[in-house]
Structure 1
Amino acid sequence: MPIVKIGPKHQVTIPTQFFKTLDLRPGDLVEAQLRDEAIVLIPQKLIPKDQAWFWTKEWQDKEKEADEAIARGELSGPFETADELVRRLRKQ
């Protein structure tokens, strides 16, 4: 395991192999946790507030379900008109 030095402003350098493996970029955020006597850094991605709904477990479960249905070829359409789409949806 690499050894890193703490700088005068409490800074540490993340070893290159970790930086690349985690696909980190300068300016990325990490959460710092204290576990027993270890400091653990966990990469974080911020999600804009107006898009947070997309990343809820419920929404992601439905996204996965839709992706699986598409992979199985369970598709409808394309439709020529909105009325044609509505008629198809009412049949289901």
Structure 2
Amino acid sequence: MTLPESVAKVLGVAEGDDLEFTIDESGTITVRGWTSIPTDQRWFWTPEWQAGEAEADQQIANGEVSRGFTSAAEMFADIDNDEDV
């Protein structure tokens, strides 16, 4: 299916992407871009996980990060000593 560029941009789709069409009881047709997620990765897209991702993004933006660990043990020790946990 060929879409006008402006429509594809609003839908957030590109060539080869899937579309979903729905028709409501009044006959209105809704079109939206569709992305399927493999079942073994759906946990990442749960509201709870996405809330954690948003929180981490905000912490990074605020500079609330530790850097420069020389080992995984050092990193985990820092996590264990974090007062916010």
Give the alignment's TM-score, normalised by structure 2: 0.74
Higher relative contact order (CA 8 A, sep 6+): 2
Alpha carbons of structure 1 residues 70 and 38: separation in structure 2 relative to 1, 3 Å = same
- Counterpart position of 1:22: 11
Alpha carbons of structure 1 residues 81 and 26: separation in structure 2 relative to 1, 3 Å = closer
CA-CA distance at 1:42 after TM superposition = 1.6
RMSD between aligned residues: 2.1
CA-CA distance at 1:25 after TM superposition = 2.8
> Does residue 52 of structure 2 align to residue 62 of structure 1?
yes
Q: Deviations over 1:29-84 (max 9, x none)?
A: 22211121222112111112221111111111100100100111111132122332
Q: Secondary structure at the match of 1:18?
A: helix
Alpha carbons of structure 1 residues 31 and 75: separation in structure 2 relative to 1, 3 Å = same
Q: Secondary structure at the match of 2:8?
A: helix
- Counterpart position of 2:27: 37
- What stretches of structure 1 of length at least 5 have no aligned partner? 1-11
Higher alpha-carbon Rg: 1
- What stretches of structure 2 of length at least 5 have no aligned partner? none
Q: How many residues align?
A: 81
